[in-house]
Amino acid sequence: MSIKLNIPFKLFADCIPVKGANRGVLCDLQRSNIEFIPNSLCDLLHKYDGYEISSILRDHTKNDHETIIEYFDFLYANDFIFFTKTPNLFPPIKMEYKTAFEITNAIIDFNKSSYDFKKVFSELEKVSCKHIQLRFFSKIQSNELASIINLLNRKSSIIQNIKIFIPYNLQNTKNNLEKLLKKNGRISNIIIYNAPKTEVYNIKYQGKLLYTIKNIIDERSCGIINANNFVINSNNFIESKKYNSCLNGKISIDALGYIKNCPSISEHYGNIQNNTLKDALSHKDFKKYWNITKDEIDICKDCEFRYICTDCRAYRENPKDEFSKPLKCGYNPYTNEWSEWSTNPLKHETIKYYNLILD
Ligand code: SF4
Ligand code: SF4
């Protein structure tokens, strides 16, 4: 099938071009994929979506025609565009982020901590939190983990999804962890870090057991940006355009029980032993990072990945600047190269400032 020059073309609404400093990406939000495209094609798509290709050709010199035809052959062959005589019937996706709840996700850190999990879960339910990450930095046996998860084993619990990080421990056999997953439909992943090798086990109709050689020391291990962590879907894309892609809708309890937006940020809003999450949320500063988007962050604002990449406000290249690029990102949108952030000599002072422990 070849492209049609005299029928208007439309980009599928969930294929969104994003221009960067040096190149663009076409974010395919339905197929969770990105395609690198030249910025010149981003410009054409922004300007001419809903027009005939012949009108683009008319607006350009003959020298450009071959390239323009190549672009559209590629877009059509890969199902990014379609042709229609009624382009007005296909409006763009509304960039409106809506959620019924103020809090959408929580991080709960544990390091031989003394707070009461029952209270933590009951508080999370009171703020209607559905997704939680439990990060254990000290050894925990699978039976202790089972008792903690059992606290949620009520039909009425609104917590839908639990992701658990635990350190590798020979005594927690794969069999035991698998049993835990099978018994608790709410657990989506158990990530066993500092393991001898990296392996993934998909448990049928349940979650995943992921063994990784990577180590997590404590909350300071968080915030690493790499392409494997990009989230390509419409919810994340729209949220990233309007809000901070990590901290919006997040509440955390650090290993000492302090209630925070993120465990790595020093500001806290009381302790879970004596305070409620609702009170913490009502503090005027609790949401101070929620509205910082990638479009406002230095360097990220020029990056083609800005609406699929997560952000990190806890570790910044310039700790004194709230709009500084995440420290743990090694991507340069001006050269399109990735490098190891932790060995970049320009970052050494800041790594020391945050007292980060590197692997
Ligand atoms: S702000 Fe950074 S450290 Fe905090 S949760 Fe997000 S990525 Fe992790
Ligand atoms: S420069 Fe910013 S948006 Fe781009 S990959 Fe790094 S952190 Fe993400």
Residue 295 belongs to a domain: no
Kindly state the average pLDDT of the residues 123-143: 95
Tell me: pLDDT of 319 over 90: yes
The tally of CA atoms less than 13 A away on the side-chain side of residue 289 is: 25
In the structure encoding, which two tokens stand for residue 238, read together? Answer: 């729209």
Cα(303) to centroid(ligand 2), Å: 6
Tell me: pLDDT of 155 over 80: no
pLDDT at 31: 96
Give percent of the chain above pLDDT 90. Answer: 92
CB 67 within 8 A of CB 95: no
pLDDT at 205: 72
Residue 179 belongs to a domain: yes
Whether residues 149 and 276 fall in one domain: yes
- Give the ligand 2 atom nearest the CA of 225: 7
More confident residue, 157 or 82: 82
The DSSP H or E segment spanning 199 is: strand 199-202
Backbone angles phi, psi at 294, to 5 degrees: -65, -25
Q: What is the pLDDT of residues 30-48, one digit of tens each?
A: 999 999 999 999 999 999 9
Which is nearest to 79 in space by CA: 131, 14, 7, 144?
A: 14
pLDDT at 65: 97
pLDDT at 82: 97
Cα(344) to centroid(ligand 2), Å: 16
Domain limit, last residue, from 44, 65, 89: 89
Give me the number of domains the chain comprises: 2
pTM beyond 0.85, yes or no: yes
The count of other CB atoms within 10 Å of the CB of residue 114 is 8
Whether residues 72 and 209 fall in one domain: no
Residue 197 belongs to a domain: yes
Cα(358) to centroid(ligand 1), Å: 16
Kindly state the average pLDDT of the residues 51-74: 97
Residue-range definition of the domain harbouring residue 21: 9-89
- Give the ligand 2 atom nearest the CA of 294: 3
Q: How far apart, in whole angstroms, are the C-alpha atoms of residue 76 and residue 312?
A: 37
CA dihedral 291, 326, 225, 193 (to 10 degrees): -100
Q: How far apart, in whole angstroms, are the C-alpha atoms of residue 260 and residue 253?
A: 6
Which is nearest to 56 in space by CA: 71, 39, 74, 35?
A: 71
Domain limit, last residue, from 61, 89, 117: 89
Q: To test the ligand 2 pocket, which listed residue (325, 327, 338, 341) has its Cβ within 8 A of the most ligand atoms? A: 325
Residue 246 belongs to a domain: yes
Kindly state the average pLDDT of the residues 293-308: 98
Tell me: pLDDT of 1 over 90: no
Tell me: pLDDT of 132 over 90: yes
Whether residues 246 and 178 fall in one domain: yes
Whether residues 194 and 126 fall in one domain: yes
CA of 265, nearest ligand number:
1
Pocket lining for ligand 2, CB < 6 angstroms: 225, 294, 299-300, 303, 305-306, 309, 325-326, 329, 331, 333
CATH number of the domain that 216 lies in? 3.20.20.70
Kindly state the average pLDDT of the residues 39-58: 97
Whether residues 81 and 168 fall in one domain: no
Whether residues 13 and 115 fall in one domain: no
Tell me: pLDDT of 317 over 80: yes
pLDDT at 203: 83
Q: What is the pLDDT of residues 182-216, one digit of tens each?
A: 989 899 999 999 999 999 999 877 889 999 999 99
Q: How far apart, in whole angstroms, are the C-alpha atoms of residue 32 and residue 234?
A: 9
Q: Which residues are registered as beta bridge partners of 193?
A: 167
The DSSP H or E segment spanning 162 is: strand 161-167
Burial category of 63 from C-beta neighbours within 10 Å (exposed 0-12, middle 13-18, buried 19 and up): exposed
Domain limit, last residue, from 89, 121, 141: 89
Whether residues 155 and 50 fall in one domain: no
Cα(305) to centroid(ligand 2), Å: 6
At residue 56, what is the residue type? I
Q: What is the mean pLDDT of the chain?
A: 95
Residue 336 belongs to a domain: no
Q: To test the ligand 1 pocket, which listed residue (312, 354, 355) has its Cβ within 8 A of the most ligand atoms? A: 312
Kindly state the average pLDDT of the residues 263-268: 97
Q: Which residues contact 251 (CB under 8 A, 6 or more apart)?
A: 103, 106, 124, 127, 129, 259, 260, 261, 277, 280, 281
CB 47 within 8 A of CB 101: no
Kindly state the average pLDDT of the residues 42-60: 97
Whether residues 72 and 221 fall in one domain: no
Whether residues 249 and 167 fall in one domain: yes
Residue 341 belongs to a domain: no
Whether residues 40 and 132 fall in one domain: no
